[in-house]
Amino acid sequence: MSWRRAAIAPLLTLLAPIAVGCGGGGSGDACVDVDLTCQPLYEPTFDNIHQRTLAAKCAVSGSACHSRAGAQNGLVMEDADTAYDDLLRSRVTPGDPSCSLMIRRIQSGDPDFQMPPGAPLSAAERCVLIQWVEAGAER
């Protein structure tokens, strides 16, 4: 745990879960509650996230929604550099998991909005992504 994260950990405990308003409209526009004190499945680094969740579950070469062949909504998760750039372009707001599109999608209960479709990530897998975004979504 970084010294900054350790310094604010007591405050996070008081504030978690927290929801922040970030937009109007439908389920895709509203921010979501996130539990910043959750227990991640593994260390929340982008390399771990890419290898253990994004590439493994969203970009299985040739068949998945976010493989090069699928490239749903222009998002390709097979290559770590491309995945990171695509996520930071419009799907992740560093330091703001509540309003980051990626977190809103993985937390959604709406089957038309939720990612991944059909088989949601476990709470511990979602926690890794939440904590990575909260910590600044660094590469």
Cα 132 from Cα 83, distance rounded (Å): 14
pTM of the model: 0.73
**Structure-block tokens of residue 89:** 């372009």
**Structure-block tokens of residue 115:** 């990612």
Q: What is the DSSP letter of 29?
A: T
The answer to whether 92 and 136 are in contact (CB under 8 A) is: no
Per-residue pLDDT of the chain (139 residues; tens, 9 = 90+): 444 444 444 433 333 333 333 443 344 568 999 999 999 999 999 999 999 988 777 666 555 666 555 556 667 677 899 889 989 998 999 999 999 999 999 999 898 888 888 788 999 999 999 999 999 999 9
Cα 71 from Cα 39, distance rounded (Å): 31
